[in-house]
């Protein structure tokens, strides 16, 4: 399937890659994922947060309701204190012995990001490259994506050094975009590959959401504490085709649109005690009501019923429920997203790539059309259309 021709944006609110795109194919050569070793079990974290002082009866009810309805069993964190305190070290975020969640400064939390993020970026990048015939030396461009910490020289610089790439490797970092951040990364890689068919672009999303764990009665804080986790995902894109006989995945089209409402319902800001999430209970409803009208902006002429497999960002169980209803999808369509949510929680920008990687691990007996979609502050909805051709048909 070639590049999809898209309809014009609704009310001027959408931005699309349309017919001016090169017809040169862009291949998704590999995906890789990585999570930290510390596992958070949802009931145990719920009980830890419920034991915090100052929690009102209303807050306690909200906490139990949010955790029990989350659809999450386990998550991962770079903070080892959630399972065992390091020897001879003062706890900085979680004091297990005292059953207390501490309130470190933003600087302390960001220092943990600087320590821990590079290893997560690197692990996902190495896994992606190891699953293809491309070597680190083949990478011409590096794009890193993250919204949970800052430092400079940044993750892009560190990743180039750790992979042993030439100092002339072109680097880009996309920061603070939220859960849809993988798509601007894909869009940049897509543009590079269409301009230069020899380019090999490594896009890596890594998020350390658990560093910003808060306690409190308000619903935003409770929802965030029940959902977010740490993880990284990498994707390698190139104009270079895979070897004959391999499955071929092409990135065909990308879309973005803004909802007419919801700018105040999802936000990510920097506070004195970490990054603060605004996550209104209205977000699932807003997404559900706005998606049907946005389909032409996101999928062009392709009807949802024509999509064989879906990689929907699991922003939460209720988000998936509303998206499923809005797009008329069945339970099988959402099963990969719900499975990633259950095992890993919401890892912000990396999560949709976890779902896409899960889809591509499943064998295909015929050519398939895939759609990926994610949501974030704005309310922003981003999408990608891909085609998967089996090794037999690709040959």
What is the structure's pLDDT at 288? 87
* Token reading at 291: 């998606």
Which pLDDT tens digit goes with each residue over 91-132? 999 999 889 999 999 999 999 999 999 999 999 999 999 999
The Cα diameter of the chain in Å comes to 64
Task: Enumerate residue ranges in the chain where pLDDT < 70.
Answer: 1-22, 85-88, 392-395
Q: What's residue 244's pLDDT?
A: 78
Looking at residue 346, the DSSP 8-state letter turns out to be B
Q: Which fold has domain 248-389?
A: Peroxisomal Thiolase; Chain A, domain 1 (3.40.47)
Tell me how crowded residue 95 is: count the other CB atoms within 10 A of its CB. Answer: 14
pLDDT of residue 25: 93
User: Is 248-389 the same fold as 26-238?
Assistant: yes
CB of 291 closer than 8 Å to CB of 323: yes
Instruction: Give this prediction's pTM.
Output: 0.92
Whole-number pLDDT of residue 279: 80
Q: Which of 97, 350, 92, 84 is nearest to 203 (CA)?
A: 350
- Please count the CA atoms within 13 angstroms of the CA of 205 that sit on its side-chain side: 27
The confidence score (pLDDT) of residue 227 equals 96
Q: How confident is the model at residue 320, as a pLDDT?
A: 96
Query: Cβ neighbours of residue 270 under 8 Å, at least 6 residues apart?
Result: 106, 276
Nearest CA-CA partner of 67 in 349, 319, 316: 316
Cβ neighbourhood burial of 26 (10 Å; 0-12, 13-18, 19+): buried
Domain map (residue ranges) of the chain: 26-238, 248-389
The catalytic residues are 179
- Tell me what pLDDT residue 185 has: 98
Q: What is the DSSP string of 208-258?
A: EGGGG----SSHHHHHHHHHB-EEEEEEEEESSPPPTTS-EEEEEEEEEEE
| CATH class, 26-238 region | alpha beta
Alpha-helical (H) ranges within the chain are 42-50, 57-68, 106-130, 155-163, 182-195, 219-227, 283-299, 317-327, 331-344, 351-361, 391-394
């Amino acid at each position: 399937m070639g590049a999809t021709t898209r309809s014009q944006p609704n009310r001027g609110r959408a931005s699309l890659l349309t017919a001016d795109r090169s017809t040169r194919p862009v291949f998704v050569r590999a995906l890789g994922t990585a999570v930290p070793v510390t596992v958070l079990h949802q009931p145990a974290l719920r009980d830890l947060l419920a034991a915090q002082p100052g929690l009102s009866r209303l807050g306690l009810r909200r906490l139990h309701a949010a955790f029990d309805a989350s659809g999450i069993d386990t998550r991962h964190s770079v903070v080892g204190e959630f399972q065992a305190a390091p020897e001879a070290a003062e706890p900085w975020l979680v004091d297990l012995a005292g059953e207390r969640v501490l309130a470190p400064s933003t600087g302390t939390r960001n220092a943990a990001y600087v320590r821990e993020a590079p290893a997560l970026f690197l692990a996902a990048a190495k896994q992606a490259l190891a699953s293809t015939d491309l070597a680190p030396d083949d990478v011409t461009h590096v794009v890193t994506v993250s919204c949970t910490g800052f430092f400079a020289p940044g993750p892009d610089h560190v990743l180039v050094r750790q992979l042993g790439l030439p100092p002339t490797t072109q680097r880009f970092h996309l920061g603070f975009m939220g859960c849809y951040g993988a798509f601007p990364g894909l869009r940049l890689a897509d543009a590079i590959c269409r301009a230069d068919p020899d380019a090999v672009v490594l896009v890596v999303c890594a998020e350390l959401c658990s560093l910003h764990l808060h306690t409190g009665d308000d619903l935003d804080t409770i929802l965030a504490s029940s959902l977010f986790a740490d993880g990284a995902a990498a994707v390698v894109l190139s104009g270079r085709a895979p070897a004959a006989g391999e499955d071929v995945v092409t990135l065909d089209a990308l879309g973005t649109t803004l909802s007419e409402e919801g700018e105040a319902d999802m936000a990510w800001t920097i506070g004195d005690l970490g990054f603060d999430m605004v996550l209104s209970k209205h977000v699932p409803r807003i997404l559900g009501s706005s998606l049907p009208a946005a389909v032409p902006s996101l999928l062009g002429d392709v009807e949802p019923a024509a999509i064989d497999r879906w990689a929907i960002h699991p922003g939460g169980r209720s988000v998936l429920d509303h998206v499923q209803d809005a797009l008329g999808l069945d339970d099988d369509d959402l099963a990969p997203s719900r499975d990633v949510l259950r095992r890993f929680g919401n890892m912000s920008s990396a999560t949709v790539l976890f779902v896409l990687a899960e889809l591509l691990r499943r064998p295909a007996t015929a050519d398939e059309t895939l759609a990926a979609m994610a949501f974030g502050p704005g309310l922003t909805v981003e999408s990608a259309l891909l085609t998967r051709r089996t090794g037999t048909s690709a040959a």
